[in-house]
Structure 1
Amino acid sequence: MDLATLTGFLDSELRIGEIADYSGAVNGLQLENSGEVPRLIAAVDASLPVIEAAAAGGPGLLLVHHGMFWQGAQPVRGAFYRKLKTAMDAGLAIYSAHLPLDVHPEWGNNVLLARAIGLQSPEPFLDWKGRPMGLRGAWEGTRGQLVEATAAAVGGSVHLCPGGREHISNVGLVTGGAGSEVAAAAASGIDAFITGEGPHWSYPLAEELGLNVLYAGHYATETFGVKALAQELSQRFGLPWEFVDRPTGL
């Protein structure tokens, strides 16, 4: 498959040029190859171990949520040099989509997590630079049942801040590291806020504000999107795909 065709499709469908993001995200094609893509690899992070694992299979397109440039401009040496050399020697192209993938209405981390926990009638939640970061919707049950549903969805443990009421009727979620948004989440009137991780101060603040917060893991809440994206490309363009799992536990 032609790399330009794949990346053109991704750029358009994910609205790469329209959705604002952090400067280090550098969304889109971060590293090209010779132009041919025989296979797809999905992963959360473009870390050296992930790139080494992906490159072991030869040429392909690595789809990631967190790209290679989060630390900004840096000398091409050490681990950064090895990442580039390993990928280029193997003919591995790298494409990254951060917030554009989080918020996508079909393949996004937010919508897929919302679906997995049974969130009803989801609607946009928590604006950032004029666009919603997450989703909110109806969910009926106890706090413990919500923890169980979230843990089942992410396939791991969930750390609970039981700051709000026991019965839950509405939930907001933002995948990844949105724990610093607890004040805005509480002000929206939800009973529980699900995110990946947050700073230490977000827990006592949530208690003070009367908000339940479920920290379900930054990595764990962001495996959904890259898998869905690779599966969509596989079905659309007839390419095999695999997922490189490199959990951080955070």
Structure 2
Amino acid sequence: MNVQQFKSQIEELFGPLLLEFKEDEEYGFCNFSLNNYERIGFATNITPEIVMQAAEMNVDLIVTHHDAWDFVYGMKERCIELLEEYNIAHFYIHLPLDYVSFGTCISLLNLLGISDIVQQPYQLDSKTVIGIGEFASPITLKQLVGDMNRLLGERVYFQNNNNKEIKRIGMITGAGNGTDQLRDAMNSNCDVYITGEKTLYTVQYAKFIKMNIIVGSHTYTEIFGVKSLAQKLQEKFKGIEIMQLYEEHFEVME
């Protein structure tokens, strides 16, 4: 797979979302200097540790959901230095991957066993509108928490704020900690709201409106969308290898 083939496939997969969001803000390409890319490593985040791990595994291209954050001061510059040193390319894609049909939210809903995607997440007035999915048959909150623990490989935070069985899930993976999203879940008759970050306001409002909530880590609620993208690239270009780059479970859930 050469760089032009890769870029053409990204355009095919994401279509209008690449026009809705700006390159180098919500998606971007870095250090594409090789003629061929055969080994792809994927992760939610790009960090110096991820680049070093990719170098040890002879990865040609790292695909992530997030670019290095500007406010994690100095880390983006260090990542770029390491990418250049080890001649590794990097592609990140943020909001388009959140909103595409195989993206972060839909991939996690599908893995939880949802039978009907009621609503894909999308952006409206610069705000993410929740994804919604329904089970064919209701399950208990305890069962859903267990499934989340198993899928994410970490112990999730949860609040049992009512006695309902769970049929309809509202979800924003990653930083869906806003009370607006919780209100959307309530107004959409969701039985539980799942996300990847929480604040004081999240837990206060969830308790106030009696909404069950489950909170995993930002990193591991979003990894499945990145994996889905890597798998789609492998389906298109049969000769490439894909591998997950390991990130620590250091986002504390208390």
Q: Same fold (TM over 0.5)?
A: yes
CA contact (8 A) 1:126 1:134 kept: yes
Which of 129, 134, 137 lines up with 2:131 in the alignment?
Answer: 134
C-alpha RMSD of matched pairs (Å)? 2.5
Matched, 1:169 2:167: yes
Q: How does 1:1-250 map to 2 (within 5 A)?
A: 1-15=1-15, 16-20=17-21, 25-58=25-58, 60-68=60-68, 70-71=69-70, 78-106=74-102, 108-124=103-119, 127-129=122-124, 132-138=129-135, 140-180=138-178, 181-237=181-237, 238-250=239-251
Contact 1:33 1:88 in 2 (8 A): no
**Residues 18-74 of structure 1, C-alpha deviation per residue, up to 9 Å, x if partnerless?**
3448x9843032442234313211111011111121123446111000113x32798
Question: Can you list the C-alpha shifts for 1:187-228, whole angstroms capped at 9, x where unaligned?
Answer: 222110111112221001101011000002211111112222
What are structure 1's unaligned runs of at least 5 residues? none
Q: Tell me, which stretches of 5 or more residues in structure 2 are unaligned? A: none
The one-letter code matched in structure 1 to 2:64 is V
Task: Give the 3-state SS of the residue equivalent to 1:201 in structure 2.
Answer: helix
Query: Matches of 1:14 and 1:24 in 2, distance apart?
Result: 15
Q: How many residues align?
A: 244
C-alpha separation in 2, matches of 1:109 and 1:48: 23
Classify the secondary structure of the residue corresponding to 1:36.
coil
Matched residues, percent identical? 22
Report the TM-score when normalising by structure 1.
0.86
CA distance in 2, matches of 1:218, 1:57: 25
| 8 Å CA contact retained: 1:55, 1:86 | no
* Alpha-carbon displacement from aligned partner over 1:155-191 (angstroms, at most 9, x marks no partner): 2212111123342222112211102122222222211
Q: State the TM-score, normalizing by the size of structure 2.
A: 0.85
Q: Classify 1:150/1:58 alpha carbon distance in 2 versus 1 (closer, same or farther; 3 Å).
A: closer
Paired letter, 1:188: S
Amino acid at match of 2:132: L
Q: Which amino acid aligns with 1:223?
A: I
Q: Secondary structure at the match of 2:78?
A: helix
